[in-house]
Structure 1
């Protein structure tokens, strides 16, 4: 089993400079390899393999124009080229999937309006060039040469010198102490920059099953007995989740802290927009120091909002798994289709519905609890829990379900959770027989 850990880095100014150089080299190698593959396609040649591209890039590194690449670890650029080849494999695999749409309707409309023809680069899923303007700062570290202590991590070739006093630059301070095991087998270490901080993510191979992380839950505080009955979970917008035992996980976006941050963000966005208009010179915009400061404040607020929502989902999923149910049944939501609703797409996006399901699945795997995903077209809200009647004309505005057959009156979300629990029990019986 591989457990991934993400921890913040605290580099000094010299280390930050080197980290940006490493990220720039990885971006350069990725874009170079993508340009090569695009040329091969245009000229009708077969796409080059990972080995051929890396061999050609090694010759490029030793050329007179690209001597700056010699200061960067070879593993950084090699892995960037390998990432591109993996992206192409995913692109070809996506084309073979049923229902694949070659070009999006918006792109077709746009290209028709401007009088340009679509190319393979515009196909859905095709690898895109990495851009510095979009904040693409990430690179790979060798999983064998990376080293950890309780407080620091050693990155490969960061110092650029073998002198003892220079070797200190290789050791970057970690924001959390004893977060990553010192002696372990590491997989796929990655360094990323989110516009504000540098982060290290690494996978650790573990032979035994892990227990769920400890967490708090503001609704259900009592410790439940081990291996209780199964749980059906209905995800929604009014509340994040409604459980089959009538427990509700509240919507964090309705709290005062979130509303206050969103109000501050709206004002700051207007402020940034006005500054852009004030500094407009012809067709271009001039970025002043105050504008850069305002954008950093806006980025910090966005990170704060994302962290609060992520923490809320972690607390909720951890509390559910700590109850040790016999199974967990979720519905297979079409989140991408739900996002097409122009009235509710913002609220759906803020709920992190898919993230809730992802965390439930991997935490349940740690605790050896089966997770059952109900069919996407299973009428969990429309089916009466008392008599089984399906009310096909149930509108989204009807929050209370009134059964026309037996007269049963129940909250529609709670009924959906009960039906999901019943669905999970039936699936368990089928699998057992």
Structure 2
């Protein structure tokens, strides 16, 4: 099984300048590829393959875009391939139409060729940048896949796929249903409840500080307005950096909570795990709940459960989207059609009473067993 490993890099100031050059090149070539595809489509041509565009790029590097030779050749080639793949995913209905990468908003990252990636104790070799120190040791003498260097607003990281072999784990003979929500992150059929990290004091305190900084920078922009444009002062740049770091910290707290929760669930070692097939993009259209759903990271939660089940050899089942897990009584099996979202307790005509989410998780644990 191939699992991704993320290692922090510690570049020198000279190396960091070269890293930013590679990031800028990857973004420029990605946008150039999208533009070439748009021009070709508007003139009635067919989809251009990445091989055709790579050949055109090679000719441009000898003339107009000679500055591309300052960075690794593989950075530009992979950027072309990534842009073409984004079009292919769009044609298959797997994603939205590709958008141009913004210098301000896009994630700074670039590809490093697998064959050129060299590892030694405490260091890693990035092509045309040199040996960079790492905060921890990268796995040696193994096959690497898709190495990417990225910047998260504070540190540089190397993300690389490493093939790992896991021993078979002895599983227990029971089925575990998981009902995810906003009040709590996950409610399992065995009675375990995993809290919503966004309701903790730490996260609320950080979000309060974030709101204050956002209001502060907004006022400074208004006070420094020059006609139709906004002047960016040194104080504005300083506050915007604080905002970026706060966003980074909140993201890391939420991701860490998701990993801890999913690991705790799979380590109970059930023979099968059943989850709902949630329409997250549809749920996000609800303006009253969209922010809470986005902060919960329900899609990421499902993705992590799925690959960790594969890691431990647990059978993962995604229940049908229209399966009435919340409306079905886990005692007598009758369906309560008039159940409202505000009804937090399930009360059946047979006299059975249980928490709504726990009742749903019990029903999910029995999904397909009687079929």
Change (3 A) 1:250 1:203: same
User: Separation in 2 of the partners of 1:45 and 1:414?
Assistant: 56
2:182 to 233, 237, 245: 237
State TM-score, norm by structure 2.
Answer: 0.95
Q: CA RMSD in A?
A: 1.8
Equivalent residue, structure 2, for 1:263? 208
Flag structure 2 segments of 5+ consecutive residues without an equivalent. Answer: none
| Higher-strand-fraction structure | 2
Q: Write the deviation string for residues 370-391 of structure 1: whole angstroms up to 9, x where unpaired.
A: 0111111111111111111111
Change (3 A) 1:136 1:319: closer
Change (3 A) 1:210 1:334: farther
Equivalent residue, structure 2, for 1:173? 133
How far the C-alpha of 1:228 sits from its partner, in A, is 4.3
**Is 1:204 the counterpart of 2:170 in the alignment?**
no
Assess if the C-alpha contact under 8 Å between 2:173 and 2:270 holds in 1.
Answer: yes
Matching of residues 309-320 of structure 1 within 5 Å = 309-320=254-265
Assess if the C-alpha contact under 8 Å between 1:327 and 1:424 holds in 2.
Answer: no
**3-state DSSP class of the match of 1:229?**
strand
**Is 1:147 the counterpart of 2:121 in the alignment?**
no
Equivalent residue, structure 1, for 2:99? 128
**3-state DSSP class of the match of 1:189?**
strand
User: Separation in 2 of the partners of 1:394 and 1:370?
Assistant: 31
Change (3 A) 1:269 1:3: same
Comparing 319-328 and 131-140, the one that deviates more = 131-140
How far the C-alpha of 1:137 sits from its partner, in A, is 2.1
Change (3 A) 1:143 1:211: farther
How far the C-alpha of 1:46 sits from its partner, in A, is 2.7
User: Separation in 2 of the partners of 1:308 and 1:210?
Assistant: 30
How far the C-alpha of 1:146 sits from its partner, in A, is 0.5
How far the C-alpha of 1:362 sits from its partner, in A, is 0.4
How far the C-alpha of 1:210 sits from its partner, in A, is 6.4
Equivalent residue, structure 2, for 1:166? none
User: Separation in 1 of the partners of 2:365 and 2:61?
Assistant: 59
Change (3 A) 1:332 1:68: same
2:337 to 392, 396, 400: 392
State TM-score, norm by structure 1.
Answer: 0.82
User: Separation in 1 of the partners of 2:9 and 2:333?
Assistant: 55
User: Separation in 1 of the partners of 2:168 and 2:281?
Assistant: 32
Runs of 4 or more above 4 Å deviation: none
1:330 to 249, 266, 275: 275
1:352 to 297, 305, 325: 297
**3-state DSSP class of the match of 2:160?**
strand
